[in-house]
Amino acid sequence: MTLSNSPSHKSRIHFAARRRVASKSSKAALGSFKSSEIVISMGLALIVGSGGAAAAYIFRNLIQGFQYVFFDRGQDILSFAGDYYVIVIPAIGGAIVGPIIYFFAKEAKGHGVPEVMAAIALQGGKIRPRVVVVKALASALTIGSGGSVGREGPIVHVGSAIGSVVAQKLKLSPTWTSTLVASGAAAGISATFNAPLAGIFFAMEVILRKYESRTFIVVVLSSVVASAITQSFFGNQPAFSVPIYELVSPWEFVFYSILGVLAAITGHGFVTILYATEDLFEKIKSIPSYLMPIIGGLIVGTIGLFYPQVFGVGYEVIDVFDMPLQSIDGALVGALSIGLMAALLFVKIVATSVTLGSGGSGGVFAPSLFIGVMLGGIFGAVVHSLFPDITASSGAYALVGMAAVFAAGARAPATAIIILFEMTRDYKIIVPLMTAVVIAVAVAQGLRKANIYTIKLLRRGVDIDGMNRGDLLEDVLVGDVMTRDYPTVTSTITIAELADKFAASGHHGFPVVDSNNDLTGIITITDLEKVQRDPSITVDEITTHNVIVVYTDQSLKDVLSRFGARDLGRYPVVSRDNPKKLLGVLRRRDIIMAYAGKVNSGLPSDLSSARPE
């Protein structure tokens, strides 16, 4: 029976023809998609940006509404307790928040940003739709009842969830889903701070941790759309109104450098206390976790009795005693005493750590800024009193400290610099700001590799910094995962025999060996389809002899970095001592399985249970 008359051969010809037609159709569809990709990008950015802005607007109003209910109405209801009523208000909020998170969406607990990062790294950007409602409600309740947390982390989580839901509804690829998740995060930051540039850099620097042109375009558009919509509601005013500061003397660079070091140490201490507090609450086994926020609320309420500035976000202090309270703006204009700023720095760290450690929902972005303002204000007041002729007032140092502490904690220098510029519109302070921020990040990196977001995932066993393909596969050797005893073909068989071997085995390629079992090349089913159907042709005539080989002691990272762009389905594995001695074959499947094994080995049970339905 000849190859040309074989029924199996006819079926293979028909299969190949159908595959070529399908391939042409796919390419045409892909070309059509690419031609309109910018239109699609703009449409998706408009949807996600609008959703992020709307969520931020609703979230702000939720917080204000809950503040009114808990503090204004609560003061009336608990008037018999006098000023002491503030002790129980955060506990009441915690009693509501705990069950909401526990029974509806456990991933809504905490600051939100690590959950978004994990969703991108481990779940292709998929976030459960219910997170949009649960996170917004739980965080608004926490903040509105006096929890000492920020609104930025929650709105990043909510905005990212909106982007994820849009992508899931449209059945987009994981790449596009992750892009829309980052776009939602950018829209949230942009809408919250009226800072579109900061939103862009936060999304790229913190959430995605990489810059790609297509992703960048969608993120930019979403951030701009969110900012434009927000400005229509709240105007185009900066988040903080501060005097214009400038460098008084070149000697100030020394002081700003010292401030950078202090900011790194302070940020390190904040992170340490935050997670130590979380551990402390987790050790309490006698109380259900959904009741823990009640205990945290009582502690925060007690702190707030003496320092009500710790309640809520900290930008706008709740006037619980019907007397004017100096807020974060007071430090920025140099109006607070050193003693008060020192006390507020310490109690803010404790109050935020207790709120989050006990199970509350809210961000660490605003607390970092608050702590940085107090640190910078203290340092500025000291150096200005010692060197009044060569230093600016303490407000300038408070402003720089605000960015430096956040940068040290989040390892996001670009975001810190940009957001301070957009929040204050003060460009004269940029050079000292960059000095302190860069030093703070460098020192903080030396103190601890992980940042305030990634350390939470590390504690769960997830190394987010090693989730890229190269790092995961750096310690996996070819010899550990290659397929041994892979079938081969000899160079002397005919293509008719080769066709039968392909049909019987299901493989799409074979190493070719000679009579001595030495490697001479490789042949694929594509090579077979290209030749004329002459049964007298031997395999040797159509074999690819200039073949890429790999060695057992090579890492998969090395193989992918060298040859990954060639998109080869298999690599012959040979001995370094004898390059013709075939030891096995490294298949694409072997690499994928090794990668999946690495990812799954770092995926903890609590993240697994939080995967989308």
195/192 Cα distance (integer angstroms): 8
DSSP-derived secondary structure for 487-551: --EETTSBHHHHHHHHHHH--SEEEEE-TT-BEEEEEEHHHHHHS---TT-BHHHH-B-S---EE
Find out whether 191 and 53 touch, Cβ atoms under 8 Å. Answer: yes
487/484 Cα distance (integer angstroms): 9
DSSP letter at 571?
E
Q: Report the pLDDT value the prediction gives residue 600, as an integer from 0 to 100.
A: 59
pLDDT digits (tens, 9 = 90+) for 69-105: 999 999 899 989 888 999 999 999 999 999 999 999 9
Q: Which CATH number fits domain 252-459: 2.170.190.11, 3.40.50.300, 1.10.3080.10, 3.40.30.10?
A: 1.10.3080.10
DSSP letter at 429?
G
373/345 Cα distance (integer angstroms): 9
Q: Report the pLDDT value the prediction gives residue 547, as an integer from 0 to 100.
A: 86
pLDDT digits (tens, 9 = 90+) for 41-52: 889 999 999 999
Across 277-286, 471-480, 511-520, 569-578, least confident range: 471-480
Across 121-125, 197-201, 221-225, 285-289, least confident range: 121-125
CB atoms within 10 A of CB 319: 12
Label residue 560 by pLDDT band (50, 70, 90). confident
- In the predicted model, is pLDDT for residue 474 greater than 80? no
Same fold? 37-239, 252-459: yes
Label residue 21 by pLDDT band (50, 70, 90). very low
The dihedrals phi and psi of 254, each to the nearest 5 degrees, come to: -65, -45
Label residue 323 by pLDDT band (50, 70, 90). very low
The answer to pTM > 0.85 is: no
- Strand arrangement, sheet containing 582-587: 550-551, 570-574, 582-587
Nearest Cα neighbor of 540 from 490, 486, 488 is 490
Q: Report the pLDDT value the prediction gives residue 41, as an integer from 0 to 100.
A: 82
> Which has more confidence, 39 or 390?
390
Q: Report the pLDDT value the prediction gives residue 5, as an integer from 0 to 100.
A: 45
Helix (H) or strand (E) holding 597: helix 588-601
Mean pLDDT of 385-395: 90
- In the predicted model, is pLDDT for residue 466 greater than 80? no
166/259 Cα distance (integer angstroms): 43
Q: Pairing between strand 570-574 and 582-587?
A: antiparallel
Mean pLDDT of 553-558: 83
- Beta bridge partners, 388, equal none
- Strand arrangement, sheet containing 519-524: 489-490, 509-513, 519-524
564/557 Cα distance (integer angstroms): 9
Q: Report the pLDDT value the prediction gives residue 313, as an integer from 0 to 100.
A: 85
Please tell me the CATH superfamily of domain 470-600, with its number: CBS-domain (3.10.580.10)
Helices (DSSP H) in 448-476: which residue ranges?
454-458, 469-472
- In the predicted model, is pLDDT for residue 608 greater than 60? no
Q: Report the pLDDT value the prediction gives residue 201, as an integer from 0 to 100.
A: 92
Helices (DSSP H) in 36-129: which residue ranges?
37-67, 74-77, 89-104, 113-123
Q: Report the pLDDT value the prediction gives residue 290, as an integer from 0 to 100.
A: 93
Q: Cβ-count burial of 235 within 10 angstroms (0-12 exposed, 13-18 middle, 19+ buried)?
A: exposed
213/219 Cα distance (integer angstroms): 10
Q: Report the pLDDT value the prediction gives residue 239, as an integer from 0 to 100.
A: 63
Label residue 141 by pLDDT band (50, 70, 90). very high
Integer-rounded Cα radius of gyration of the chain: 30
Name the token pair of 288: 């259900």
Label residue 62 by pLDDT band (50, 70, 90). very high
- In the predicted model, is pLDDT for residue 38 greater than 80? no
Name the token pair of 476: 């996996």
Does CATH number 1.10.3720.10 belong to domain 37-239? no
Q: Report the pLDDT value the prediction gives residue 258, as an integer from 0 to 100.
A: 97
> Which has more confidence, 214 or 240?
214
Name the token pair of 559: 């193989």
222/231 Cα distance (integer angstroms): 14
Q: Report the pLDDT value the prediction gives residue 601, as an integer from 0 to 100.
A: 53
Name the token pair of 215: 């992703």
Q: Report the pLDDT value the prediction gives residue 556, as an integer from 0 to 100.
A: 84
189/569 Cα distance (integer angstroms): 43
pLDDT digits (tens, 9 = 90+) for 169-196: 998 888 888 899 999 999 999 998 888 9
451/275 Cα distance (integer angstroms): 12
pLDDT digits (tens, 9 = 90+) for 495-505: 888 888 888 88
- In the predicted model, is pLDDT for residue 612 greater than 70? no
Nearest Cα neighbor of 263 from 410, 112, 393 is 410
Name the token pair of 364: 């660490």
Label residue 332 by pLDDT band (50, 70, 90). low
Q: Report the pLDDT value the prediction gives residue 467, as an integer from 0 to 100.
A: 58
DSSP letter at 354?
H
Nearest Cα neighbor of 420 from 400, 435, 436, 440 is 400
List the chain domain ranges. Answer: 1-35, 37-239, 252-459, 470-600
Q: To 5 degrees, how large is the angle CA 207–CA 408–CA 313?
A: 75
Q: What is the mean pLDDT of the chain?
A: 83
Nearest Cα neighbor of 179 from 198, 204, 157 is 204
